[in-house]
Amino acid sequence: MAHGRDTLPDGPTEKCGVVGLSLADRAAARPLYYSLYALQHRGQESAGIVTHDGFQQHSHVDMGLVGDAFSESDLAGLNGTTGIGHVRYPTAGSVDKSCAQPFTVSFKSGSLGLSHNGNLVNAGEIRDTLAAKGHAFTSDGDTEVIAHDLARNLLEGDLVRAVKRTMERIHGSYALTIMHDDTVLGVRDPEGNRPLCIGELDDGYVLASESAAIDTLGGTLVRDVRPGELVLLERDGSGFDSYQLVSHERTAHCFFEHVYFARPDSRIDGTLVYQARRELGRRLWDESGVDSDVVMPVPDSGRAFASGYAEAAQDDGADVEFAEGLMKNRYVGRTFIMPTQDERERAVRLKLNPIRSTIEGRSVTIIDDSIVRGTTSRQLVSLLRDAGADEVHVRIGAPPIVAPCYMGIDMATREELIAGDQSVDDICEEIGADSLSYLSIDAVAAALSSSRIDLCLGCVTGQYPYDIDGEETDRAVERPAVTDSAPADD
Ligand code: 5GP
Ligand code: MG
């Protein structure tokens, strides 16, 4: 089928956290603020909250961490018992307030606020059609495209029908919290690529990317938002309505949420992330366990994997110690997004320091969740050798990442991925390890109690569950034809 110009995701990819809240008669701003704290790991570049007091919208969006983005007076000005929030993930190079969210727009029949986690693959086509109809865009992001399309549909129909029309036009991953005037909605894409769940509080309901945010507010997880579902929170916080607007045969849950991105204490699509990581670790031992004196996690992302791996090893009677041998300086920021390779390498040593007594004269196995560019593993192997390790084995709780993510995890380009064009043996040599093994794709599916076809495995297979220009698909998918934004009569 004919495709527009957007082979790559338009603008910055959005790997983010979203939240929405409707309370009986308490201001929503502060609980929204706390829930954004709980989602801080999903985005550190900017944070924002939009509330509605029944008459008008209030918005505060700023760069930086949640704790820095809001002052007491900012929170005090966010009136109203309903609202949405957003934390945005940093993408190298783009530090621009125009991309910060929630995105807001006012139009003839009201106001809209939008928080988006995910990435559309046909935003360019929709933007072109809307621009031709006179819509002016202020950012190059795909969230604004959703907002304008929804605003246009809202002029012609009711809220639920408008959301349905927009969902029928957009293609890609999206977990959205939306405010239409003082009504809060949650929408999850038909493949359920990004997580979104519903929680119940004493005096209201909450929508959040991860259940850890519900816990933080003292609420209970009701359930995940279903793929293709619209959840509409009652304005008085008394309940929610559900509309199954789009149904696709298969899901495409992102396995990387479980491997790396989500908090271990969150429950996503029925699985506690911590349990999933331990199970991945156990399977890693089963598939490629290696004799060594000590098993150590690469903190923090490798911890649950390493404990599962060590436990499975000990269950098998292996004489292996499970210990911490690398200490993380928690004040060092994200090494991953540092602009140059040289800086990234320096940053790993700044961030992780070995505990010599665990390492010296011993054979060690280090466990990490994933290898992207290979910077971390390469640095760690040499760090451990400098600290006197006899042997250094590396075990990874995910399959080799061979292709980029177009669905909102800002991974790296194909050229930067160490497994993009190299075998595991080559990579082992390049990072200088005595041995290296990854987990198989089948083990990932089994650990997540899923079948392969219900997961998005694009970054480990190079085949995607979406129609992306220049890439292969792993199923029959069709990008919606974007011809005109005028809704047909139905
Ligand atoms: P590498 O050093 O190989 O480029 O990246 C691997 C390390 O980065 C692993 O320790 C993993 O926990 C972490 N990582 C994996 N994916 C991401 C990501 O999308 N963002 C960030 N910040 N770190 C990641
Ligand atoms: Mg890590």
Confirm or reject: Cβ of 370 under 6 Å from ligand 1.
yes
Confirm or reject: Cβ of 379 under 6 Å from ligand 1.
no
Rounded average pLDDT over 128-153: 90
Rounded average pLDDT over 4-23: 62
Confirm or reject: Cβ of 210 under 6 Å from ligand 1.
no
Residue 478: per-residue pLDDT: 80
Protein residue whose Cα sits closest to atom 23 of ligand 1: 336
Pocket test for ligand 1, best of 117, 263, 336 (most atoms within 8 A of CB): 336
pLDDT band of residue 126 (cuts 50, 70, 90) is: very high
pLDDT band of residue 407 (cuts 50, 70, 90) is: confident
Rounded average pLDDT over 124-153: 90
Looking at the predicted structure, is the pLDDT value of residue 48 above 70? Answer: yes
Rounded average pLDDT over 11-15: 50
What is the residue-averaged pLDDT of the chain? 91
pLDDT band of residue 11 (cuts 50, 70, 90) is: very low
Confirm or reject: Cβ of 334 under 6 Å from ligand 1.
yes
How far is it, in rounded angstroms, from Cα 406 to Cα 118? 9
pLDDT band of residue 279 (cuts 50, 70, 90) is: very high
How far is it, in rounded angstroms, from Cα 352 to Cα 386? 13
Confirm or reject: Cβ of 371 under 6 Å from ligand 1.
yes
**Catalytic site positions:** 16
User: What would the pLDDT profile of 377-387 be if each residue is shown by its tens digit?
Assistant: 999 999 999 99
Complete edge-to-edge strand list for the sheet that includes strand 391-396? 321-322, 294-297, 363-368, 391-396, 435-438
Residue 138: per-residue pLDDT: 84
List for the chain the helix, strand, coil content (%; round to 5): 30, 25, 45
Q: Give me the architecture of the 274-450 domain, per CATH.
A: 3-Layer(aba) Sandwich (3.40)
Residue range(s) in the chain whose domain bears CATH number 3.40.50.2020 = 274-450
> What's the CA-to-centroid distance between 84 and ligand 1, angstroms?
29
Looking at the predicted structure, is the pLDDT value of residue 6 above 70? Answer: no
Domain 16-252: assigned CATH number: 3.60.20.10
Confirm or reject: Cβ of 374 under 6 Å from ligand 1.
yes
Q: Nearest bound ligand to CA 299? A: 2
CA of 409, closest atom in ligand 1 = 19
Looking at the predicted structure, is the pLDDT value of residue 223 above 90? Answer: yes
Rounded average pLDDT over 206-217: 98
Instruction: Provide CB contacts within 8 A for 294, sequence distance 6+.
Output: 320, 321, 322, 323, 325, 358, 359, 362, 363, 364, 365
> Rg of the chain's alpha carbons, rounded to an integer?
23
Confirm or reject: Cβ of 298 under 6 Å from ligand 1.
yes
Residue 334: per-residue pLDDT: 58
% of the chain surpassing 70 pLDDT: 92
Rounded average pLDDT over 435-444: 98
> What's the CA-to-centroid distance between 484 and ligand 1, angstroms?
41
Residue 489: per-residue pLDDT: 40
> What's the CA-to-centroid distance between 301 and ligand 2, angstroms?
4
Residue of higher predicted confidence among 3 and 180: 180
Nearest in space to 5 (alpha carbons), one of 133, 136, 187, 127:
127
User: What would the pLDDT profile of 68-124 be if each residue is shown by its tens digit?
Assistant: 999 999 999 999 999 999 999 865 445 567 778 999 999 887 999 999 999 999 999
Protein residue whose Cα sits closest to atom 12 of ligand 1: 301
CA of 301, closest atom in ligand 1 = 12
pLDDT band of residue 1 (cuts 50, 70, 90) is: very low
Protein residue whose Cα sits closest to atom 13 of ligand 1: 370
Looking at the predicted structure, is the pLDDT value of residue 226 above 50? Answer: yes
Identify whether the C-beta of residue 240 lies closer than 8 Å to the C-beta of residue 234: yes
Rounded average pLDDT over 172-191: 97
Residue 96: per-residue pLDDT: 67
